[in-house]
Amino acid sequence: METTNGSLNRKLRMALVGGGQGSFIGRVHATAAVLDNRAALVAGALSSNPERAKASAPAYDIAESRAYTSYQEMIDKEKSLPVDQRIDFVSVATPNHTHFEIAKAAADAGFNVICDKPMTFDFAQAEELVKSVEKSGVVFAVSHNYTGNPLVRQAREMIQGGELGEIQAIRANYIQGWLRTAIEAEDQKQAAWRTDPSKSGAAGAFGDIGTHAYNLGRYITGLIPEEISCNLKTFVEGRKLDDYGHAVIRYSNGALGTVTASQISHGRENDAFIEVDGTEGSLQWRQEEPNVMIVRKNGSPHQMYTRDPNAPFMNEMGAAACRLPAGHPEGFFEAFANVYRFAYDAMVARAAGESFETKDTIYPNVYDGAEGMYFIQQCVASSADNGAWLPMKYENARS
Amino acid sequence: METTNGSLNRKLRMALVGGGQGSFIGRVHATAAVLDNRAALVAGALSSNPERAKASAPAYDIAESRAYTSYQEMIDKEKSLPVDQRIDFVSVATPNHTHFEIAKAAADAGFNVICDKPMTFDFAQAEELVKSVEKSGVVFAVSHNYTGNPLVRQAREMIQGGELGEIQAIRANYIQGWLRTAIEAEDQKQAAWRTDPSKSGAAGAFGDIGTHAYNLGRYITGLIPEEISCNLKTFVEGRKLDDYGHAVIRYSNGALGTVTASQISHGRENDAFIEVDGTEGSLQWRQEEPNVMIVRKNGSPHQMYTRDPNAPFMNEMGAAACRLPAGHPEGFFEAFANVYRFAYDAMVARAAGESFETKDTIYPNVYDGAEGMYFIQQCVASSADNGAWLPMKYENARS
Amino acid sequence: METTNGSLNRKLRMALVGGGQGSFIGRVHATAAVLDNRAALVAGALSSNPERAKASAPAYDIAESRAYTSYQEMIDKEKSLPVDQRIDFVSVATPNHTHFEIAKAAADAGFNVICDKPMTFDFAQAEELVKSVEKSGVVFAVSHNYTGNPLVRQAREMIQGGELGEIQAIRANYIQGWLRTAIEAEDQKQAAWRTDPSKSGAAGAFGDIGTHAYNLGRYITGLIPEEISCNLKTFVEGRKLDDYGHAVIRYSNGALGTVTASQISHGRENDAFIEVDGTEGSLQWRQEEPNVMIVRKNGSPHQMYTRDPNAPFMNEMGAAACRLPAGHPEGFFEAFANVYRFAYDAMVARAAGESFETKDTIYPNVYDGAEGMYFIQQCVASSADNGAWLPMKYENARS
Amino acid sequence: METTNGSLNRKLRMALVGGGQGSFIGRVHATAAVLDNRAALVAGALSSNPERAKASAPAYDIAESRAYTSYQEMIDKEKSLPVDQRIDFVSVATPNHTHFEIAKAAADAGFNVICDKPMTFDFAQAEELVKSVEKSGVVFAVSHNYTGNPLVRQAREMIQGGELGEIQAIRANYIQGWLRTAIEAEDQKQAAWRTDPSKSGAAGAFGDIGTHAYNLGRYITGLIPEEISCNLKTFVEGRKLDDYGHAVIRYSNGALGTVTASQISHGRENDAFIEVDGTEGSLQWRQEEPNVMIVRKNGSPHQMYTRDPNAPFMNEMGAAACRLPAGHPEGFFEAFANVYRFAYDAMVARAAGESFETKDTIYPNVYDGAEGMYFIQQCVASSADNGAWLPMKYENARS
């Protein structure tokens, strides 16, 4: 594990927005960000409630002086600090409807950003955010954390290298069951904002997890989508957003893809699952058992690739994303931390005045985030129009 | 294992059409039909090639005198035999385009029929066949053999009994890889007719295995489909029929279903897989590991139902379909044989002049076969019309 | 599927001893024996109770005239039948304590024998039976049915061919739970005789299933055991025989083996499981999921061999034992039937006056059966002597 | 995640011995110790090579002034620091032969200790260390990290609560393959000291991983062993310590246990696996898939317990060990960190002058460590005496 940030020779300084008491994803960001000892959490605007923002700081070791009561205050004050004290980046771990203003303010102020997904409230915001990021030149990552799994990166590099041939089919599912009943009515915080159109955005399940499944297919295969047809359902009575949905995607090379997202499947936990068929081989990977991937070729025994940084069959990107030897299970935190870790490389380069890749990055970036918002917009529109085929090619999409 | 056919007190006499040298499914029918010792294969028209028809007979223990050179000859001659010698039923195990004429002739002659799937060449034939069967009053089963798996029947009875609540989502896949390359061009017999529109019918993968996946969902849940949208693909160059496809189904109760069929997924063997989500529970079952089914309810450990005829958790239909104690794997033959076994009950009833169920049967019947043909027709039509929504409610569908 | 028995050009004629109403294994024998249409069950002594013997015959299609009331009567009468009518072989599916007399009488009369395992009541009987078989020259198979699984045969041929290098460790378990409570006291027929020392022999679990596990290791690896140390336990109060046990085996090449057998593990069904470690590779196979075997080599992805008669990776013996294409699950019946099927080849050779292999057979033979009895004897003796090391090399063991 | 250390209201201060460049387990300790933000690594003696000790410090953020060149220097200097600066505990992550002197010096100086396993070089050292710990009153944990897995703790509490009834059998395996060839001869650092009797101790595989498997059985069931019989093997030529071994254990309640450890099983990674049979239920858990445990009861579907902190089926200790919701895989780091986390509670109590449990702790303690050394001693002695039964009851063992 690298820890010195190379030429920078110091830890990166992190600020967290969100993550106050009761938060799930804020704590995940804070844990993942420091897992490799390359960053320190030094500032925060941990809650939109000023009192809670202050009260939550000690649990993160944030000094009182840098426990801000709003993100605006934080950005202003941090900007005015000496270069050798001020934060390097802002992690945005708030409900969806606030991502844009925070991320944009941070980027405009020149701070790098790690933003939770979905990136913004709607696609229009996303396009504006892209412009901010391009203008400011900051490093911008979006926490499509499943891309951080070593075997997902292994898959991506295998496909880029042609090991599976031409990709013709993608089946990506993300199946959960926790919103099977209207727990949002019982004051469950995580459920409440995710099912509230004013906070979550135009989609429910498809925004929260459908985007992950879509992104996973895109990240692994690099195929460019052309059209999408979507059917969203709201099965739980009284709910305002979709809790189940399905999309069919036509890719520009003729491949056919499907995305299914559910929050209403009893007992299903967090089952992001992808299968990819190519002319030379197929593969499948499941988030709940992330340390194994199955690769198949007709006529050969099925190959179980296990996450093994020392194995000859692991490629460079796969091996680089590992922290532990084979058989020592890595999980959610490590994958999440890989989004951070590889974004740090770019931050270090930027700090040194060096150029760095912004589109074909190993971590999900602002264009991926924007494409996710386009995906949500087109899915909701298609579903509203009886599953009509709508364009799905985002102009800035990575290939 | 029952063997006496109850009041009939003799074995049922079977005739096989198809199954000549090189056949796969004919041998499966012959093996499954006698697995429980309730029937004997006594006659056959084993090939459309008269010489091969004769030459194939000894391997089936069919006497030379009843090794016919055509199905017409067989039906004529058998009909003229004394009642205590003539066949009770005809099994049709030929390529799709010949099912109709054979099955109709058999039914019209008063013989019961076990017909391979897809039932006919097209839906028009299927409707005509329904009429023949209704008129003749014969027992008619279609070999949607996966319905014969004990845990599939367990699932069906659980859902009928309300254990999973209202069903809201069905995901049924059938993934194979054996047609990844154009082996039909290499004289592979099984591939050749399945990819030939003049023999297979309007669909390739969707006819051969998509219908199985569709049927599985229908059989288990009993939901009535209303509309379907389908996208078929032919990925292998030069092939004339689809080798990959996907359909979305809207059920009359608001549930959403999907069917995916592939013959081009490297290394995938025969992966018929279904997941069903209900308001009170979910389940999943996989044909390649047929002796286990997972049932989930939020807040409870996941339940692995194993095929166990003696377990209190098995319901009547599930237990009745077992032959071996738990832990003694049953497989493809046994499931196939269950289609036969339960159709035999109806044949015995018919022979005794008793009434028997014709629509809500435990085995797939002529209406299920016709619905499968309607499914193929509507899928092909929808796909040709850019995935347009088409009606999918077959008027005679079982509920 | 071959059905003609080659030059013999007729079905083999089978007699069944045991298998009367309520039997489990008798029905298995009867089903397996005819699965490939190479034999017909024509005679039987189906119960030691003459009335039940008669009454059980119709269910097997055995003519009344050949439904004998004792095995002695059967052997006498069959022997006096014309050659073209008399039985070719006798299947012995009775409780253990009667195997010897029946099998010996059949062999002495010149009939081939398929005998259930454990082969006899004790090792002394087994040695005597070996002599009878050698003297009479009959074909003699023992139903260590797990050796009939295609992937077990695949494993055996791989190891014989050196693909795993020198074998150094074998771990074979057979875990069940059905005797967790004293169901023998509740008149459960299967439990009653298996826990009765006067019927089952010197061992309980170790006789019934420990021998299977031991045999599996021997069959797959061919290693010769030298010494054994065993600890048997009777956990269920009042039971007279072991219901749990463990043995350690030292093989002549220095390898270390273990065998564990349990009948008292809650919820465990029929979990025969083996792992083999060689200098060039390792493998594992599980009876409850018999269609897959995992082979591992350091530095390579794990290899999942699926039962696939058409795959290049399957060797001759593995492929020859398959009946269905990959992905069409085969199970317990098919494996059992493979013991029969390959013994039939020897019976056909014998009938034609040709020589045939008697020791290094693909099916388990009388020497394997005798070795199993030696295993039981030495395990029971070792356990009685505090797990002392006792010799385990049976003089007639196959290598 | 708790972060404040309650009444202590500050982070605990950690010193690391070992962990210099090239270390595996030192980095694991450092990562695990701070995962919950309750401790900070402030001092270290990172290598026995003074230069490397200094050079390794920056990667851990250890200030130069506290990057000591020997553990003696560290303990002396830290002891002289003001109470509000000096370290609270020492983590010992060095090769086995140095554990004792370091841990004893730390304990004697009044510092709490987290010591890697096996705890010492031999049992005599372990007994002496127990005395030091008892005398000094420090908190002492041993990194039998698999006890930190939430489902292992769940299993333990279930068994303590009687849910599985009386425990009668334990099967614990730990199978690896990385020492299949003599990589110690190729200068592989991890292999070199583990196969060197002067550094590793009397046992190889059985010391390194056999102790884990043994400990897992003891921790989960609480059964007291009475006697042990062991057979150790060295399969790789030229190797000086066992690389494969097997032990049989008789527990005081009559239960039978087995432990198998391998480092020579091709392709096997880190497969610690345990099965436990009780009169009321059985369970199994596998380290490589740590987020699921299977519990079985005759007559019920198999229960898959998934790691789910919010599920009603999780007990207090199981839920308390979770950090993430169900379906978000936790792995090796988290389990390791749980040893730390729960030892921290005791450290906080000690710092506050409160009493704390020392024997029946939720984390593995000095008595567990000593028992592990006794296990190694008795296994090696038994193996040298042809597997003779030797006493295995350690006088200070927890129940």
The helix or strand, by DSSP H or E, that contains position D154, with its residue range, turns out to be helix D150-160
The tokens for B394 are 């077959």
Mean pLDDT of A115-123: 97
Fold (CATH) for B149-327+368-391 = Dihydrodipicolinate Reductase; domain 2 (3.30.360)
**Separation CA C205–CA B217 (nearest Å):** 42
Mean model confidence pLDDT for chain B = 96
Do B248 and A277 count as a contact with CB atoms less than 8 A apart? no
Q: Is D387 on the interface with C (CB under 8 A)?
A: yes
Contacts of residue C84, Cβ cutoff 8 Å, sequence gap at least 6: none
pLDDT tens per residue across span C285-322: 999 999 999 999 999 999 999 999 999 999 999 999 99
Give the pLDDT confidence score for residue D3 in this predicted structure.
53
Whether B113 and B89 have beta carbons less than 8 Å apart is answered as: yes
Do D304 and B300 count as a contact with CB atoms less than 8 A apart? no
Closest in C35, C59, C329 to B290, CB measured:
C329
Instruction: Give the nearest chain A residue to C311 (CA atoms).
Output: A299
pLDDT tens per residue across span A43-70: 999 999 999 999 999 889 899 999 999 9
| Helix and strand totals (H; E) in chain A | 13, 14
Do B306 and D302 count as a contact with CB atoms less than 8 A apart? yes
ipTM passes above 0.95: yes
Contacts of D34 in chain A (CB under 8 A): 34
> How near does any CA of chain B get to the CA of A204, in Å?
17
CA distances from D369 to C324, D121, D198 (A): 54, 11, 19
Chain A interface, best mutation among B295, B296, B298, B302, by max A CB count within 10 A: B298
Q: Is the predicted pLDDT of residue A1 greater than 50, yes or no?
A: no
Contacts of D305 in chain B (CB under 8 A): 301
Q: Is the predicted pLDDT of residue B3 greater than 60, yes or no?
A: no
Neighbours of chain B (3+ CB pairs under 8 A): A, C, D
Instruction: Give the nearest chain A residue to D305 (CA atoms).
Output: A267
Do B302 and D299 count as a contact with CB atoms less than 8 A apart? no
Q: Is B388 on the interface with A (CB under 8 A)?
A: no
Closest in C244, C258, C297 to D260, CB measured:
C258
Mean pLDDT by 10 residues, chain D (399 residues): 74 95 88 94 95 91 94 97 97 96 98 97 98 98 98 98 98 98 90 93 97 98 98 97 98 98 98 98 98 98 98 98 97 98 96 95 98 98 98 95
Give the pLDDT confidence score for residue A152 in this predicted structure.
98
Do D280 and C266 count as a contact with CB atoms less than 8 A apart? yes
Q: Is the predicted pLDDT of residue B104 greater than 80, yes or no?
A: yes
> How near does any CA of chain A get to the CA of B230, in Å?
10
> How near does any CA of chain B get to the CA of A297, in Å?
5
Do D329 and A271 count as a contact with CB atoms less than 8 A apart? no
Q: Is B44 on the interface with A (CB under 8 A)?
A: no
Contacts of residue C386, Cβ cutoff 8 Å, sequence gap at least 6: D389
> How near does any CA of chain A get to the CA of B159, in Å?
14
Closest in A169, A250, A298 to B244, CB measured:
A169
* C118 prior amide bond cis, ω within 30: yes
Closest in B169, B233, B298 to A262, CB measured:
B169
Work out the angle between the directed axes of helices D211-221 and D366-384 (0-180°, nearest 10). Answer: 120
Do B333 and C332 count as a contact with CB atoms less than 8 A apart? no
Q: Could you say which residues from 281 to 310 on chain C have a Cβ atom under 8 Å away from some Cβ of chain A?
A: 294-295, 299-306
Give the pLDDT confidence score for residue B397 in this predicted structure.
96
Which amino acid type is present at position B83? V
**Separation CA D12–CA D109 (nearest Å):** 17
pLDDT tens per residue across span C102-116: 999 999 999 999 999
> How near does any CA of chain D get to the CA of A25, in Å?
10
pLDDT tens per residue across span D362-380: 999 999 999 999 999 999 9
Q: Is B28 on the interface with C (CB under 8 A)?
A: yes
Do D301 and B306 count as a contact with CB atoms less than 8 A apart? yes
Residue D251 region by backbone torsions, left for phi larger than 0, else alpha for psi between -120 and 50, else beta: beta
Give the pLDDT confidence score for residue C188 in this predicted structure.
87
Per residue of chain C (399 residues), give pLDDT as tens.
455 688 888 999 999 999 987 788 999 999 999 999 899 999 999 999 999 999 999 889 899 999 999 999 999 999 999 999 999 999 999 999 999 999 999 999 999 999 999 999 999 999 999 999 999 999 999 999 999 999 999 999 999 999 999 999 999 999 999 999 999 999 888 899 999 999 999 999 999 999 999 999 999 999 999 999 999 999 999 999 999 999 999 999 999 999 999 999 999 999 999 999 999 999 999 999 999 999 999 999 999 999 999 999 999 999 999 999 999 999 999 999 999 999 999 999 999 999 999 999 999 999 999 999 999 999 999 999 999 999 999 999 998
Query: What percent of chain C has pLDDT above 70?
Result: 99
Chain C interface, best mutation among A296, A300, A314, by max C CB count within 10 A: A300
**Separation CA C8–CA B314 (nearest Å):** 46
Q: Could you say which residues from 150 to 189 on chain D have a Cβ atom under 8 Å away from some Cβ of chain A?
A: 176
> How near does any CA of chain A get to the CA of D330, in Å?
5
Give the pLDDT confidence score for residue C1 in this predicted structure.
46
> How near does any CA of chain D get to the CA of A332, in Å?
5
Q: Is B27 on the interface with C (CB under 8 A)?
A: yes
**Separation CA B149–CA A356 (nearest Å):** 57
pLDDT tens per residue across span A126-153: 999 999 999 999 999 999 999 999 999 9
The tokens for C84 are 């073209």
Contacts of residue D28, Cβ cutoff 8 Å, sequence gap at least 6: A324, D93, D332, D333, D336
> How near does any CA of chain D get to the CA of A34, in Å?
9
Do C58 and B333 count as a contact with CB atoms less than 8 A apart? no
* C391 prior amide bond cis, ω within 30: no
With bands split at pLDDT 50, 70 and 90, how would you rate the model's confidence at B5? confident
Give the pLDDT confidence score for residue D261 in this predicted structure.
98
| Rounded (to 5) percent helix, strand, coil in chain B | 40, 20, 40
pTM of the full structure? 0.97
The helix or strand, by DSSP H or E, that contains position B227, with its residue range, turns out to be strand B225-233
Q: How many CB atoms are located within 10 Å of the residue A109 CB?
A: 18
Alpha carbon C59 to chain centroid distance?
A: 25
Q: What is the CATH number of domain B6-146+353-365?
A: 3.40.50.720
Do C37 and B60 count as a contact with CB atoms less than 8 A apart? yes
Chain C interface, best mutation among A293, A303, A308, by max C CB count within 10 A: A303
Q: Is D246 on the interface with C (CB under 8 A)?
A: yes
Work out the angle between the directed axes of helices C332-351 and C150-160 (0-180°, nearest 10). Answer: 70
Q: Is B327 on the interface with D (CB under 8 A)?
A: no
> How near does any CA of chain A get to the CA of D245, in Å?
20
Q: Could you tell me the residue ranges of all domains in chain B?
A: 6-146+353-365, 149-327+368-391
Beta strands (DSSP E) in A252-301 are 256-262, 271-278, 282-286, 292-296
Contacts of D301 in chain A (CB under 8 A): none
